[in-house]
Structure 1
Amino acid sequence: MTASRTEDSAGAARPRQDAAPPAASPSHHLAGPDTVRGERKWRLYLRRFLRNRMAVAGLVIFALITLLGLLGPSLAPFGYDEVDFLAISDAPGGDHWLGTTGAGNDLFAQLTHGIQRSLVIGLVVSLATTAVSGFVGALAAYVGGWVERVILETIHFLLVVPSFLILALVSNDVGGDWRMLIVVLVAFGWMYYARVVWTLALSVREREFVTAARYMGLGPWTVVRRHILPNIGSMLTIHFTLGVVTTIQAETALSFLGFGVKKPDVSLGALIGEGSSLVYSAPWMFWFPALTLTVLTVSMAFIADGLRDALDPTSQAGGHA
């Protein structure tokens, strides 16, 4: 019978170790503790958001309106710029599901195109203003000194400038081009939130991990991008959501007054402005765009409220962890 023990160089008997050590679980190599912690955090945020019924309803309504804006133009029997001379200010029914405008355009086609145009303007402007205000405010708080003073003085000066008047004049000069309208709205829409970000970033820059990053020789842009902005990311997320609402409202006000999007292009504000003078003789031209705008902005407000409750650890509205 073969011995189950071997002898070492000193002659002492020791057990033979035939079994190999257990292999490490591949999950330890695929995801580190930081990744797992981040995944759990986002699951908690999602669970708290889904507990808010109004926020979920707002998300569903916003998704449906977005799908209407994306798919509506292909479903409409007429193009948004196509004129039906045999149907001038016709009531809803027949070939024109929501009626026609005073120029003979199909209102359903114009409404879906207006949703698409207003959403593009709102999302792009809100994203750009959030990015600009976040970086400018955080950089001013982190660098300090004369850079901070120059940035704050610039912000305070721009805040007292009559921005709506400048927006109206500039947008009117460019002939209602929605691309230039985006540029103008971004140029005059980042100052207030940059001031708010600066206030929040002042407390973040005093934390130990920011001090350690500074002593390690990381540049200001790297510290702002990696350490300061992620710690105020919840506020920036809420600002982005609410910024979509305020941008759409600003574009609606400009278009209503004739300074925003102009024909042959169309937006929700332009449709409301056109239908306001015919609210009694052709009420469908005003009420369909007005109701769409109201539902859109209210749904975004519900989403922002749900995000605030989900991302705020002190809020009890989203339930306990």
Structure 2
Amino acid sequence: AGEPVDERPPGRARVALRRFAANPNAVAGAAVLLLLFLLAFVGPHLTRWSHTDIDYGALRQAPSATHWWGTTRIGQDVYAQVLHGLQKSLLIGLLVALFATVLASVVGACAGYFGGWTDRIVTFCIDLLLVFPAFLIIAIVSPRLRELGWLAFVGLLAVFGWMITARVVRSMTRSLKERDFVRAAQLMGVHPLRIVFRHILPNVSSFLIVDATIAVGGAVMSETGLSYFGFGVQPPDVSLGTLIADGSDAALTYPWMFFFAAGLLVVFVLAVNFLGDGLRDALDPTSAQHRRRRPRRKGGRA
């Protein structure tokens, strides 16, 4: 007799990985993001120039063997500046997405599970924060927190970036708490917070993963916009937003001062969107089937 064949169905993670690998856009997005992270954190070590170095003999110099991506109006190396700015923007995006997703998942799950006054208070706070103009408030508050550095800016972005996700998690939790496994845990006397963290949140993890991935791109765009107007990362530090703002006036006359930073930002946002779509399709195949399904009209075109 031959060896027994393992006929167990593949696990959920393996199935999701197969779906993800079968999506060329998702794989391309993940590969581009990996390359961008390597470029941001390994690339600066490939040149002798730092983002603070100034070459007074090469002001606004075009890309050359000495300065690969050219120099700025005061002789700073664009390659070193852009990669340092990319580092800062990626760190801000990752931290904002992490903090906002954790806050949204905990608050939304607790509001949906406990209900009652907890749900009413949390919903009121969420609605109140959604009414406030986040860009204006951050623009007013961030100059007063400059002494605390860019981490305070991360906190401000995270505070105004969790509400929509929390509402979705709240709705999903209200549905999940009626499931049999949650009822069984309640009958067994499991602590409510343990139920939230051990039974509710793991069942919304696929949504949170996709949301956090897309939130990274949104946070980088928010940081770029605020830094462009002078409310984000402050000199002498740089980010993609500050570099785009500094090079926008010279976009036509000295394009290397603008287009390298702007191009990396566009590539990053597109890669994040491709990765987010791929994760959504891999973790929730019904979303892909819904998008592929097209209504057919009878009688041809009008």
User: Normalising to structure 1: TM-score of the pair?
Assistant: 0.85
Tell me, yes or no, if structure 1 residue 174 matches structure 2 residue 145. Answer: yes
Distance apart, 1:53 and its partner CA: 0.2
- 1:1-321 equivalence runs, <5 A: 40-175=11-146, 177-316=149-288
1:256–1:273 Cα contact (<8 Å) kept: yes
Whichever residue aligns with residue 71 of structure 1, its letter is: V
Q: CA deviation at 1:173?
A: 2.3
Give the RMSD, CA atoms, in angstroms.
1.7
Distance 1:160 1:315, change over 3 A: closer
Give the Cα–Cα distance (whole angstroms) in 1 for the partners of residues 135 and 288 of structure 2: 38
Distance 1:106 1:74 in 2: 13
Structure 1 residue 316: Cα displacement: 4.7
Q: 1:23: which partner in 2? A: none
User: Would the alpha carbon gap of residues 232 and 109 (structure 1) be closer, same or farther in structure 2, given more than 3 Å must change?
Assistant: same
Q: For 2:55 and 2:193, locate their aligned partners in 1 and report how far apart those are by CA, in whole Å.
A: 56
Residue 95 of structure 2 aligns to a residue whose secondary structure is: helix
- How many residues get paired? 283
Q: Contact 1:140–1:151 (CA<8 Å) still a contact in 2? A: yes
* Distance in 2 separating the partners of 1:131 and 1:200: 16
SS in 2 for 1:314: helix
Structure 1 residue 315 displacement after superposition: 4.0
* CA distance in structure 2 between the aligned counterparts of 1:297 and 1:105, rounded to whole angstroms: 26
Give the whole-Å Cα distance in 2 for the aligned partners of 1:108 and 1:236: 35
Q: Could you tell me how far apart the structure 1 residues matched to 2:193 and 2:238 are?
A: 40
The Cα shift of 1:172 comes to 2.2
Would you say the 8 A contact 1:100–1:107 is kept in 2?
yes
- Cα separation, 2, equivalents of 1:116 and 1:170: 24
- Is the 1:139–1:220 Cα contact (8 Å) retained in structure 2? no
Percent identity, aligned pairs only, is 46
SS at match of 1:189: coil
| Distance in 2 between residues matched to 1:317 and 1:147, nearest whole Å | 37
Moved more, 88-97 or 52-61: 88-97
Residue range with higher mean Cα deviation, 134-143 or 308-317: 308-317
**Mind listing any 5+ residue stretches in structure 1 that lack a counterpart?**
1-35
1:149-198 superposed Cα distances (whole Å, 9 cap, x missing partner): 11111111111011111111222222383111111111111112111111
Query: Which has a greater percent of helix?
Result: 2
